[in-house]
Structure 1
């Protein structure tokens, strides 16, 4: 099931405590562009199918990443792309978007996404794994 754009942005806006939908939209685009560089094949296609169309296109045409970034470098990269962001605010931004992505994807697909990412992303997705 695809989440409508307004509903997706409302979730991100609420979780990120943004003042405007535009702020939530900008943040979601940065995080999804970085995430898209980390996912491959069927998992990326399945996630794109569940996202609003404009975000699916961002995910499918990602910023290029030479290697999968560990979570802390992913957050740093996000901070570099968002005006005025710090690592602390970028952690908040990434979590607001990725927890919304996890809710949209559902448990099974989220598990498959996490398998493609370096350790530690479970917390950013709001899905801490038992150690």
Structure 2
């Protein structure tokens, strides 16, 4: 089921403890653009299908990543794109957005998404995997 924009933003706002929906929206746009650069094929399309249309389009039309970013570099890249962000606040942004995304995925799709990403993203999605 596709989440409505207001519902998605409100969940990100709550998890990220943002003061406004605009802050949550900005974080969502940056994180989803970076995530989209790391996912391919049918899995990316299925993740997008559960997102509000404006976010789905961001995920489906990302900047191309030269190489997969490990979780720490993903957080640093997020910090670089959000004005005034630090690595610590960007880590919060990434986790707030990706945990809402993870809630919209079934277990099988979540597993396939994690297989496309470098090790460690399970923590960013709030879905720690057993070693």
What TM-score do you get using the length of structure 2 for normalisation?
0.98
Q: After TM superposition, where is structure 1 displaced by more than 3 Å over at least 4 residues in a row?
A: none
Q: Deviations over 1:44-92 (max 9, x none)?
A: 0101111000000000111221111000000000000001000000000
* 2: CA distance, partners of 1:51 / 1:128: 22
TM-score computed with the length of structure 1 as normaliser: 0.98
Aligned-pair CA distance for 1:122: 0.3
> In the aligned structure 2, how far is the partner of 1:95 from the partner of 1:63?
20
Q: Which runs of 5+ in 1 are unaligned?
A: none
> How much has 1:106 moved relative to structure 2?
2.4
User: Who is 2:126 aligned against?
Assistant: 126
What stretches of structure 2 of length at least 5 have no aligned partner? Answer: none
1:12-37 deviation line (CA, Å, top 9, x unaligned) = 00000000001000100000000000
Per-residue deviation, 1:123: 0.2
